[in-house]
Structure formats: C-alpha cells, structure tokens
Amino acid sequence: MLIGALAAPARAEEPTPATKSPPAAAMTEEARAHYDRGLELYGEKSYARAIRELDAGYALDPRREFLFAEAQAHRLNGDCKSAVPLYKKFLESEPDDVQVNAAHIALARCAEQMANAPTAPTAARPATSPSLATTSTTSAPPRPWYQDVAGGVLLGAGVAALALGTTFTVAALSARDAASQSSTMYPDYASHWATARGRSQIAFGAFAAGAALTGSAIYRYVHVRRAQASAPASHKLDAWAAPAPTAATASSGFVAGVGGRF
C-alpha cells in the first residue's frame, strides 16, 4: 500500500511555479522492465528476487521509485539495516508530502522492528587456569540509558512525525482561511475545504504516529534504565601465582592469591 503512494500525488493545491520542479524524463524501457518485474515479485512476496530486479533497474536509471520499492522489499524481508539508508536517500530526492509521510511511517516501523529484534547470544570465553598464570576479567560499563540506539531511533521518528503533523496542521488552517476569506465562488470554496480536510487527515495520522513513537521511546528509555539499575555491579577479578622459598626446606615453592573489586 505504501508503494502505491509513489503513484498517488497529494490532493492539495498545485505548487507555485517558483517551487515546481521540471517534469522528469520517462523511464528507459530496460529499466521499466526491471521495475515492473520487481513489483510483480514484490506482490508475490518474493522479496529477495524483487530486490535484485529493483537494484538492477536502479543501476540503469537511478530514479527514486526504485529506492522506495527496494526499501520496502528489504524491510518486509526482515532487513531494516539495509532498508533505512534507502528510505533516507528517497527522502533526499524531495518527494511530495504524501510520499514523505509514507516514508516516515515505514521508518517508524523499521525502528520498532529493530527495537524488538532479539539480541544474539555471546559466545562463552574459554576458561583459563588461575593457578599458573595471572588473569584479569573486567566487565565493561554499560552504555548510558540515554544513549540507547533503539530509543534514539524511536524518539527521532516520533519527533519527525510530530513535526510533520504540525506542518500539515498549519497548512490545513491556511486552506481554511483561504476558503472563508478569499473564495468568492462555490467551486473555489469547496476546493479549499477539500484541501484543508485532506491536510487535516494527514496531520491527524502524523500526530497519532508521533505520539505512539514518542511513547515507545520513553518506555524504552525507562526499561533500559531500570535494567541497568537492577544489573549486578561491575567487578574486576584477579588471580596470580608466583614462586617463593619455603621456610622449612629452603626449596622453591609457589604462593598464589585471588583478589579483586566487587
């Protein structure tokens, strides 16, 4: 459904000539064949093959349609690390407001997916004998809760969604003012109100997404902080052994010890 947003421009009034970009050239036939085949495979949920087709098409004709479609395929294939750079590159191509909103929603879903991803277990370190050598183990200090990556991604996406909602709210109010003050004929009045209604709906969706993402970020930060508070204190353990003469026989022996900070 989000890919369909690429072909559906926002129902808002036309941009002024100063901000309107020149029409893009038609996609080459070979690139179009890769794009259509990629979307077909995407619809069949064959995401890995769709990614290959879209990547091949982008190499022939680097258009933003390929970026969004390939990012979607990566995300639905469970690879948000590859999808996020493509979404960001798509946003840098200055798409329209509806497409921007679709990309931010997809980024928010990636943030949630990355936050809920299971952590890979760490391999156990081989044991060493403390009786014949000096060993030292120190637990690394945990990262501060406010530097949590998943929380930062959620918070950033939430702030972006709230900013988008604010922008569309202001735009909707502007269209309402135009309807009540500038329109002298009913068709103009109805057009301005339709524009205001569409912008209000986008603003409402953005605010809802922003509130959910910001709340998730806060929950994540609180969870990480509580987990760090209940974790065992960092410690350092040292063990050593060294030769030493014995008093009774004047022969060499060993002295050993264990110490540390807990």
Quote the pTM value.
Answer: 0.39
Q: Which of 177, 129, 171, 200 is nearest to 15 (CA)?
A: 171
pLDDT of residue 193 exceeding 90, the answer is: no
CA distances from 74 to 42, 80, 82, 177 (A): 10, 6, 6, 43
Lowest-confidence region among 54-68, 112-126, 178-192, 246-260: 246-260
Q: Could you read off the pLDDT of 145-179 as tens digits, one per residue?
A: 778 888 788 889 989 989 998 999 998 888 778 76
**Residue bearing the bigger pLDDT, 232 or 34:** 34
Return the higher-pLDDT residue of 258 and 58: 58
* Dihedral pair phi/psi, residue 41, rounded to 5°: -65, -35
* pLDDT tens column, 14-33: 333 333 333 456 888 999 99
pLDDT greater than 60 at residue 245: no
Q: The domain 30-84 is classified under which CATH number: 2.40.50, 1.25.40, 3.40.50, 1.10.1760?
A: 1.25.40
**In the predicted structure, residue 62 carries a pLDDT above the cut 70:** yes
Task: Please list, in sequence order, all residues whose beta carbon lies within 8 angstroms of the beta carbon of residue 193, skipping any fewer than 6 positions away.
Answer: 175, 176, 179
